[in-house]
Structure 1
Amino acid sequence: MTAHPPFRKVLDGVATREQMFQLFNQHKDNPDLDPFSGTPYSGEWFQIDAASYHFMLGLLPPLFQRTGLFGMSEFKAGNVTSVFFAIRIRGRERWFHGFCDLTDRQSPDKMRAAIIAHETGASDSMTRAEKLEAIWNMTPVELRGTARSADPETGWAEHRGKRTILVNAGRHDAAFRLLDDLSDLAIDECLSKVRLRRS
């Protein structure tokens, strides 16, 4: 299993309401993960819009609430729950969602600090790991999967269970590639295609 940074951005741009709910459940179909553990979600975050923030605030009574953040009273799994943030960055109010493991009571504050640090960095401040997570999350389910050792053509026996995506979909050279092996150029191309679809 790939080691993740403690806090990681999993979507480039602002999530739509539909994307937000998809990201709430993005790990549910992974057979290698314990569905009762919130570990796969813990530390993931992404930007949402104001309407989604206020919708979620009104959905259930918050587990806790203070200026600029609240936590959902319904846990994702284990000690992991959704925390929503309203953060002013460079004079503009922005809204975020993150999964925090509340076994560490400071987790919401640490995530808030990580979001601010990330979003006030360079204009393209996503790390390679964050870009790969964003590509995975934005790739339609039918165009992604995991490497199987049963397929002799791929030679991926040693990569069994690692994430794969279809690159160059719709072209004659379309092929599944290991997500972690994408070149920097391929990563930038994948992210630019998503930005074009949104514009």
Structure 2
Amino acid sequence: MSTHPPFRKVFAGVATRSQMFALFNRHRDTPGVNPLSGKAYASEWFEIEASSYHFMLGLLPPLFQRTGMFGMSEYKAGNVTSVFFAVRIRGRERWFHGFCDLSDKRSPDAMRAAIVAYETGAVDSMTREEKLEAIWSATDADFRGIASETNPDAWPPEHHGKRTILTFVAGKGTTLKLLEDLTDEEIDSRMPAVHARSRRGGGNDAEPS
């Protein structure tokens, strides 16, 4: 029986079409990741606009399609492909994209269940790691980088290859900082306000669109 890593939300808020396409390739400059491997993307998901959902549905004949879900016939790599979801959550229709490893045929349904659980409050909030991934995805390429990529002497050898982000540090001004070293306050200040909305409410009341 095949297994998959935990499903991970990688963008806070609703991605525009241009943001969606950027997220499709968000591991292109991630250190230690083969950009041609779909494994780095497997189980990642984020919310998209309705127009993006319908645009992608009309782009290519779907690999599969059923109520509230379709898969792209063009694979990312290996067995990993894009799956798009239309879900009604607490009376409001919403749309999502996720990368599913179809070597596990249950992956699309498991991802949909994970999205519903997260968005209805069965999972209270993003983990620190998910927040860091969301911040990295939302930060312009001009304001993020890889330690030692252009100046090896600027970072200790143990930090070479780690992700960096431009941030303001009291007493130092604007400087590069390791993404993993962001404080909780810095993380919260960089998360879109939409993420702060309350998730309190009723139970799992989502249904297919």
TM bucket, shorter chain: 0.7 to 0.9
* Aligned partners of 1:35 and 1:77 also within 8 Å: no
* Aligned partners of 2:86 and 2:95 also within 8 Å: yes
* Aligned partners of 1:138 and 1:194 also within 8 Å: no
Measure, in 2, the Cα distance between the counterparts of 1:151 and 1:125.
37
Any unmatched runs of 5+ in structure 2? Answer: 196-209
Measure, in 1, the Cα distance between the counterparts of 2:24 and 2:90.
28
Give matches, 1:96-175, under 5 Å. Answer: 96-121=96-121, 125-148=125-148, 151-154=152-155, 156-168=156-168, 173-175=173-175
Q: Partner of 1:189 in structure 2?
A: 189
* Aligned partners of 2:31 and 2:163 also within 8 Å: no
Q: Which moved more, 1:27-36 or 1:97-106?
A: 27-36
Amino acid at match of 1:191: M
Give the Å deviation of 1:5.
Answer: 5.6
* Aligned partners of 2:147 and 2:161 also within 8 Å: yes
The C-alpha deviation readout for 1:37-78, integer Å capped at 9, x for no partner, is 101111111101111111111111100011110000000111
Q: Partner of 2:74 in structure 1?
A: 74
Give the Å deviation of 1:109.
Answer: 0.8
Measure, in 2, the Cα distance between the counterparts of 1:5 and 1:129.
14
Q: Partner of 1:95 in structure 2?
A: 95
Give the Å deviation of 1:120.
Answer: 1.0
Give the Å deviation of 1:161.
Answer: 1.3
Q: Which moved more, 1:5-14 or 1:122-131?
A: 122-131
Measure, in 2, the Cα distance between the counterparts of 1:152 and 1:18.
35
Matched, 1:83 2:60: no
Give the Å deviation of 1:160.
Answer: 1.7
Aligned residue for 2:33, secondary structure, equals: coil
Amino acid at match of 2:97: H
Q: Greater relative contact order: 1 or 2 (C-alpha under 8 angstroms, separation 6 or more)?
A: 2
1:193–1:153 Cα change, 3 Å:
farther
The C-alpha deviation readout for 1:88-142, integer Å capped at 9, x for no partner, is 1111110000000111111111111111111111796222111111100011111
Q: Partner of 1:176 in structure 2?
A: 176
Give the Å deviation of 1:153.
Answer: 3.8
Measure, in 1, the Cα distance between the counterparts of 2:184 and 2:60.
42
Any unmatched runs of 5+ in structure 1? Answer: none
1:124–1:175 Cα change, 3 Å:
farther
Amino acid at match of 2:76: K
* Aligned partners of 2:118 and 2:124 also within 8 Å: no
Amino acid at match of 2:175: A
Give % identity.
65
1:80–1:5 Cα change, 3 Å:
closer
The two structures have a TM-score, normalised by structure 2, of: 0.83
Amino acid at match of 1:114: A
Aligned residue for 1:174, secondary structure, equals: strand
Measure, in 2, the Cα distance between the counterparts of 1:123 and 1:39.
24
Measure, in 2, the Cα distance between the counterparts of 1:26 and 1:153.
25
Q: Partner of 2:201 in structure 1?
A: none
Q: Partner of 1:6 in structure 2?
A: 6
Measure, in 2, the Cα distance between the counterparts of 1:112 and 1:31.
29
Give the Å deviation of 1:193.
Answer: 7.8
Amino acid at match of 2:180: D
